[in-house]
Amino acid sequence: MSGSESAKDPLISGSEYALRRARLMAGLAPDSLAIISSAGEQLRSRDTYFPFRQDSDFLYLTGFDEPESLLVLLPGRSQGDTLLFCRERDKEKELWDGPRLGPERAVAQFGLSDAFPIGDLDDILPGLMEGRERIYFPMGRYAHLDRRLRAYLQAIQEAPSSKGAPEMLDLDYQLRELRLLKSERELDLMARAGEISAAAHHSAMVRCQPGLYEYQLEAALLHSFMDAGARETAYPTIVGSGRNALIMHYCSNKARMRDGDLVLVDAGCEYRGYVADITRTYPVNGRFSDAQKAVYEIVLAAQAAAMEQVCVGNHWDQPHGASVEVITRGLLDLGLLQGDFRELIDSGAYQRFYMHRVGHWLGMDVHDVGDYRVQGAWRQLEAGMVMTIEPGIYIPANDDRIPLEFRGMGIRIEDDVALTAEGVRVLSEGAPKAVADIEYTMRHGRDLLTR
């Protein structure tokens, strides 16, 4: 989205961005200053660049979607506490690279106190830093910002009238805490991202058949995303058929899908800065074998058990613990694990088949900001938190101790869950996941395609 589109978006208003900035400044130490940088453009090859994606913290606080920008927050400053440095209008460059908002229009559209050309940064920012006791910024994230601030600090310290350089502090914690709890407008955007992504999974499910390449399912997903108004993916799409489903971050998507195999599809779109993250696993030929169905139903039950534990007052680990119990019991029943149920859990023996946790925070980033522990204890769940619930079972392909019909099977089911004051809201529920629903969708969807 462009800066102008963001400002006109009825879901995230200028007043909400202003409220976010005010909340951040309220949590900073007295007599401080905060600096947040935009992302930079990333070179792809020679003189071509990857599509620009704004830094999530910068976008969260401003809505401004251009590179070469810097936000400066000055709590308590009577002349204005919110300053933006950005690129000036330039007719020649805009002819080649597209329009720029410019400082004057940025102030009006984003409710800022003032804005200046980014070329004036060296003349203005050191003076704003001088006399402040503390400077907050995202330490280590952008090397160019680290170098620039070090040079400013050295100049301040060496000035004849200097009272010493300000203390430098990392801004990461304060922003993590703000972004962890989503507003109603943020939840609306995430619901739209989930709706678009669920529909795309439905389309891929209908498209799937033996002989296609994994990237052809990826193409169906991308078409659905863009056709619905989501220009970007939230992360590289995973389409892993057969044994490729055992690779957690497989994304080459170049194998031909075979009759009798399962395919694991992990994909989500980014919609106006917010993301979805959905996984579905289904048979390439549209019908689960008995062994595939048996393992799939365990994963589905584990997800249901985990979702029951997502409620205000429970802690972060309770959904994971519930999923571990269901998966361990299921693997025991299938004979893939042997031994005492509680001992298998306590020893971590189940991790041979289920090696990741049941979920993660979700928001502007796929693995969104927010601590999972607070002062050493698991964090309590609160309204406004959004997370994934994604149990899985991954059965090694080359283990003679495992019955042949189960070997090389990778199954994960993932949904996006928002915790609200009214209860749990599943943002991705439009993607079929019950065995009967998947088989019906694949069978009848193909019939429609061939008419």
Give the residue numbers marked as catalytic.
Answer: 47, 249, 266, 277, 356, 360, 367, 390, 394, 412, 414
Cα–Cα distance for residue pair 206/200, rounded to 1 Å: 10
Cα–Cα distance for residue pair 14/61, rounded to 1 Å: 10
Cβ contacts of 10 within 8 Å, gap of 6 or more: none
Cα–Cα distance for residue pair 17/34, rounded to 1 Å: 16
Cα–Cα distance for residue pair 145/219, rounded to 1 Å: 38
Cα–Cα distance for residue pair 395/298, rounded to 1 Å: 13
Cα–Cα distance for residue pair 427/439, rounded to 1 Å: 22
CA angle 239–251–300, rounded 5-degree value: 45
Q: Which of 89, 55, 62 is nearest to 6 (CA)?
A: 62
Cα–Cα distance for residue pair 200/40, rounded to 1 Å: 30
